[in-house]
Amino acid sequence: MSARNLVPIALAIALLATIPLFVASNTVLNFLVFVLIIALASQGWNILGGFGGQFSFGHAAFFGTGAYVTAVLQMRYGVNAWAGFAIGISAGALVGWIIGYLSFRSGLRGSYFALVTLAFAEVLRILANASAIAGGAAGLLIKLDVRPENFQFESRAAFFWIALVLVGIVLVTTRWLECSRFGAQLIAVRENEDAAKALGVDTLRVKLGAIALSAAVTAAAGCLYAQYFLYLDAAIAYGPWISVEALLAPIIGGIGTVFGPLVGALALHGLGELTKTFAGRIPGIDLVVFGALLIVAVAFAPDGILGLLRRLKAKLAPTRAKRAAEA
């Protein structure tokens, strides 16, 4: 992977990093932090679903594991929040590997794999809802102690920059996937798993690596959510809402691309907030927007927003060349 491949990522992150320098509104910063959390979870889904072709309906299993592990370690065992954050990511990766091993060793693919991931997420939700250590139905409230060593900050900008750094790291990881041997093997599995196996690719190893990496990224989003909002219950951590948003953003932005999940998360929640502003606080109006965007994307832009922009650029290129020749 050359430095040239990282230039667009560096420029995008640098541009986004300047926002808190010009915007002091906590409402705007809250919105941006939440968008980055969703973008992070979506990047995790994109690694497995976009590059690996293994569609998951249960990424809440990884999001919730990361969130609960970091919260429980702090509240029940007094573990430092930063250490809990790292352990939560590792726990999410482990859960992903276990689910992947049980699924892929059984030969599950396509809709069967998607349903199995959904089932695991639902089982974990029920267990968390009934578990005393996880706070049961009442959930967990992380103690408010605003100090950097507790991963709590007075300024929303600090959380924004931390979330942005995490998104930047995952963008670089995704770019590496595009250029690496492992990424090529993952794409080969996506295109034709039997052919990839015939060419000597260890498909089980590749898929397990992809789901563990995917789960770790999504668990990082869950850890960040827990530290930012300081409250969790089973419906939040393991609820279907995060699984839906994690797969919607890449589809809207551009599945199997580096920037697709980030663009999709910004588009989804940006339009959702605009709709709330003009249509009033109608319950569920943002979900209507999400559904409408999905229909439009599937019907008119199957490659997402980024794919649509590429096609428009390709159509405009001959026109620009002709104008340049005439000039």
* Percentage of residues of the chain with pLDDT beyond 70: 92
Asked, for residue 139, whether it belongs to a domain, the answer is yes
How many CB atoms lie under 10 A from the CB of residue 286?
Answer: 18
Q: What pLDDT is stored for residue 179 in this prediction?
A: 87
Q: What pLDDT is stored for residue 323 in this prediction?
A: 63
Q: What pLDDT is stored for residue 304 in this prediction?
A: 84
| Lowest pLDDT segment from 52-61, 186-195, 220-229, 267-276 | 267-276
Domain that holds residue 200: 3-241
Asked, for residue 47, whether it belongs to a domain, the answer is yes
Task: Indicate if the pLDDT at residue 241 is higher than 80.
Answer: yes
Q: What pLDDT is stored for residue 190 in this prediction?
A: 93
> In total, how many domains does the chain have?
1
Q: What pLDDT is stored for residue 24 in this prediction?
A: 83
| Lowest pLDDT segment from 13-17, 102-106, 263-267, 277-281 | 277-281
Q: What pLDDT is stored for residue 325 in this prediction?
A: 60
Residue-averaged pLDDT of the chain: 89
Asked, for residue 279, whether it belongs to a domain, the answer is no
Asked, for residue 269, whether it belongs to a domain, the answer is no
Output the pTM of the full model.
0.92
Residues 314 and 273 sit within 8 Å (Cβ to Cβ): no
Asked, for residue 288, whether it belongs to a domain, the answer is no
Q: What pLDDT is stored for residue 19 in this prediction?
A: 93
Q: What would the pLDDT profile of 260-317 be if each residue is shown by its tens digit?
A: 999 999 988 888 777 777 666 666 666 777 777 778 777 777 788 888 888 887 777 6
Task: Indicate if the pLDDT at residue 321 is higher than 60.
Answer: no
